[in-house]
Each structure stands twice: as C-alpha cells, then as structure tokens.
Amino acid sequence: MAGLMHCISASVAAVPLNTAEMVEILMVARANNKRRGITGILLHIDGSFFQILEGAQEDVAATYAKTAEDHLFTRVTDIISEPIAKRAFSDWTMGFADLTHAEQMAIGGLNDFFQEGTCCTRLRAGRSQKLLRAFAAGRWRTKLRRDLKKIAG
Amino acid sequence: MIVLKQPESTRPFSFAFQPVIDVVDRKVVSYEALVRGLGGESAHQMLTRNSAEELAQFDRECRVVAIQTAARLGLKSHLNLNFLPTTIYSSSEVILSTVQAAEKNEIPLDSIVLEISEVELIGDQTGFALLINEYKSLGINISIDDFGKGYSGLSLLADFQPDQIKLDMNLVRRIEARGARQAIVRALAVACGDLGVDIVVEGVETIDEYMWFRDEGFRWFQGYLFARPAFEEFPEVHYPEFEA
Ligand SMILES: Cc1cc2nc3c(=O)[nH]c(=O)nc-3n(C[C@H](O)[C@H](O)[C@H](O)COP(=O)(O)O)c2cc1C
C-alpha cells in the first residue's frame, strides 16, 4: 500500500500575479495533479500563498520539488509533512480561494473548512482544517523584504 | 488477534474514565482510560510487580480492555489511551492488538488518541518518529502527555507535530499567580495554533486556574474541577457555572 501523506507550506509570489496568470498556474497545476493523483487546496491573499498537497509520498515529493524551483514564487516555508490515513480534499485536484475577496470563500464546499462548530468540534477537525483556519485568521503570511540589500555593511 | 490470558471476571484490573471536556460547546470530547487494580491500586503500584516481558504483555492487554470497556459503556467521543512506561519503543507491533480491538468494537481509529508521556521520549527520537508516522498513517491521533514536565517538549515540537499536547500539571498549578508559567503557556498556545496542535489543560483543580486559562482562550480541559475519574463508568461532568 502506497502511504498517503500531506505537505503543508506557505510561500510568497515573487512578482505580482494578475488573475489571468493565476488561472494559468491553476490550469497547469490541476492537469499535473490529476495525472499524479495529487489533491489539495491553494489559498491566496495579497501575494501570500498557503498550499496543502496530498497524495502518495513520492508524488507529493515530486510535486513539491517542482514547485519549489518555480521562479514565480519564493520563500517556501515547510509547515507540516506527515502521513495521513485519508485525504481531506479528495474531490479537488487543486481547490483555490482568493481571500483578498472574502465573498469568494463561498466557493463550493470550502465554507465547511472555515466554519467552526458546524458538525464537529475542533478536536475532531484534522490538521488541514486547523491550519487553513490559521491562515485565514492571518497566520503564516509571508512577507517579501526587497529592501534588505540596502543595509550598509 | 491477541487472546487475553484471563477471562474478564478474574482479571485483576479494570479502568476508570475521566472526561476531557470542551467548555465552549459544553460537551465531552474524549475519555481518558486510567488503569486501576480491583483493589483500587494505581497503575504504578501494579507495575512494580511485573517483569519487562509481563509488562509489555500487560501494556497491550490494558489498551484492549480499555477499548472493550469504553465500547460497553457506549463511547461516542474520542478515547485517550496510554502506554505504560518503557513500553513504547518495543515495536509497532504493540499497536496491532489495539487496532484490532478498536475494529472489533466498532470504534473508528480516528477516535483513538494515544498518549505518550513527554518524559518517555528523551531516548531514541528517530525511532520514535518512525513509530509515530505509522500510527498517523492509520489515522490514530497522537497526544504528548505531561508536556513541559521534562526539558524535551519544545525540541520535540520542532521535529514532529502531535495532534494534541496535554499541559503538565506543574505548568497548570496556581498559574493565575505565576508569571513565568503564564508567559510559557501563552507562547505555547501561539506555537500550537500555528501547527494545528490542540492543547488540553490537564489537572485543573481550582476555579482560579480554570479562569486564567479560559480568559486566554483555552477550551479543552480535564481535571477534578470538572470530573474525577470514575471506575468502569463515564462520570457526570460539572461544567463551570459562568460558562452559560
Ligand atoms: C502558487 C503556486 C502553486 C502551484 N501548485 C502546483 C501544484 O499543485 N501542482 C503542480 O504540478 N504545479 C503547481 N505549480 C506550478 C509549478 O510550480 C510548476 O510551474 C509546474 O508544475 C510546471 O509544470 P510543467 O512541467 O508541466 O510545465 C504551482 C505554482 C504556483 C506559483
């Protein structure tokens, strides 16, 4: 049995991305993920990304390695990599929500991940759900500091 | 399938259950199973009688019996189970009987929370991480008990992330008056929030301790203030009045 894992990371866009570019990235991501059996979700707000990849260990590792080389985003922070028993996003080759426009959070099904106390207590919520909420609440936002090189030595 | 050596009627031990509660939703989220001798002896008193081999066998039997007993009592919440001291490193086989017992008693594996004491983890951390990953892939939840008792807690969080930690009593006792402990606990709450680790405040005995944690936003509690362990029973919970 190929063990399932998830890999949760935060990153920041190296250049401002417009909607067309975001759509393009998502289309490539979804096509690749479908082929590799990867599922997950991507959140964006003001240049900060938060991503959960789930799948067989070698597939997640391969996808993660490829995205880590992508020049479109930088400062990738590994938050959690661990085995899981089942997927939290089994229907999504890569769900996407732009939290810059909060109303888009109504995207099908996504609401459940942000709402507390609907069907279950948070103690039952999995790690994915807890971390999505943490990001939505303002944690794990990465900032680019373009001015650092100017510090006099 | 592990066959218990002794039939239930002559087995010299059974379990007491103490609830872990969510004070916001006012409900029991888990019961911790605590081994007790039939004469009321604590686990510690019973352990000193056993050899290492007997101990390992006893450790496995304990979890099986705890699951059977909890199922018989109509468990609807999570179930927190313990490892006996020194038995966790034996091998991942130790969990096989637990998994089988859960399946047989129709308790989903993601309702099982395995508690591992922080002070047990100072040895082989790599071996430990492998073991834990195996449990995680089965969907079993991992809790670090007595968190903050030893000195390894924080470095533990750096290398692997449990689903839950239970704050050590020493951090909880009289926290309302102890600034250094308050600072540590606040920092832990931030770290655990960022990593998706739930914090259970354990061993709460006074209203003042409870009030301090509640004001800081903690919601999962266990302790005499709410319910004492009850022998072969799920005890009634006393929810603090002001949490209307
Ligand atoms: C924020 C962000 C998220 C991405 N997520 C994925 C993903 O989940 N899967 C994927 O294959 N590529 C993803 N990519 C794209 C990869 O970085 C890379 O461009 C792509 O895998 C290259 O695919 P190709 O070799 O088919 O051209 C993402 C890129 C960005 C900027």
The string of pLDDT tens digits covering residues A81-129 is 999 999 999 989 999 888 876 545 544 455 555 554 333 333 456 899 9
Q: How many Å from the N-terminal Cα to the C-terminal Cα in chain B?
A: 47
The domain locations on chain A are 4-136
Q: Are B218 and B201 in contact (CB under 8 A)?
A: yes
Which residue, A30, A135, A11, is CA-closest to A74?
A11
Where does residue A131 fall: left (phi above 0), alpha (psi -120 to 50 degrees), or beta otherwise?
A: alpha
Would you tell me how many other CB atoms lie within 10 Å of the CB of residue B62? Answer: 24
Q: Are A79 and A9 in contact (CB under 8 A)?
A: yes
Query: Residue holding tokens 């919970």?
Result: B237
Q: Tell me if residue B169 falls in helix, strand or coil.
A: helix
Whether B51 has a pLDDT exceeding 80, the answer reads: no
Cα separation, B210 vs B115, in Å, equals 22
A39-45 and A48-56 beta bridge pairing: antiparallel
Cβ contacts of A140 on chain B, cutoff 8 Å: 194
Q: Are B16 and B231 in contact (CB under 8 A)?
A: yes
- The percentage of residues in chain B with a pLDDT greater than 90, rounded to a whole number, is 63
**The model's pTM:** 0.88
Which residue from B minimizes the CA distance to A133?
B196
Cα separation, A132 vs B196, in Å, equals 9
Q: What is the pLDDT of residues B193-231, one digit of tens each?
A: 999 999 999 999 999 999 999 999 999 999 999 999 999
Question: pLDDT band at residue A151, thresholds of 50, 70 and 90?
Answer: low
Structural domain includes residue B198? yes
- Tell me the two tokens of residue A30: 């979804």
Structural domain includes residue B84? yes
Where does residue A68 fall: left (phi above 0), alpha (psi -120 to 50 degrees), or beta otherwise?
A: alpha
Distance from CA of B241 to the nearest CA of A (A): 21
Question: pLDDT band at residue B178, thresholds of 50, 70 and 90?
Answer: very high
CA of A97 from ligand 1 middle (Å) equals 16
Residue B8: is it exposed, middle or buried by C-beta count within 10 angstroms (0-12/13-18/19+)?
exposed
CATH code of B174's domain: 3.20.20.450
Q: Average pLDDT over chain B, rounded to whole?
A: 87
Structural domain includes residue B110? yes
pLDDT in the model for residue B131? 83
Structural domain includes residue B116? yes
Distance from CA of A44 to the nearest CA of B (A): 17
Where is B20: in which H helix or E strand? strand B13-22
Structural domain includes residue B239? no
Which residue, A30, A23, A25, is CA-closest to A11?
A25
The CATH fold assigned to A4-136 is Alpha-Beta Plaits (3.30.70)
Whether B1 has a pLDDT exceeding 50, the answer reads: no
Cα separation, B169 vs B19, in Å, equals 16
Q: What angle do CA A61, B198, A93 make, to 5 degrees?
A: 35
Count of domains for chain B: 1
* Closest Cβ opposite residue B137 in set A3, A80, A127: A3
Structural domain includes residue B14? yes
Instruction: Show the domain range for B167.
Output: 8-231
Within 13 Å of residue B163, how many CA atoms lie on the same side as its CB?
Answer: 28
Q: Read off the pLDDT of each residue in B95-111 and give the average, rounded to a whole number.
A: 94
Structural domain includes residue B1? no
Question: pLDDT band at residue B117, thresholds of 50, 70 and 90?
Answer: confident
Question: pLDDT band at residue B7, thresholds of 50, 70 and 90?
Answer: low
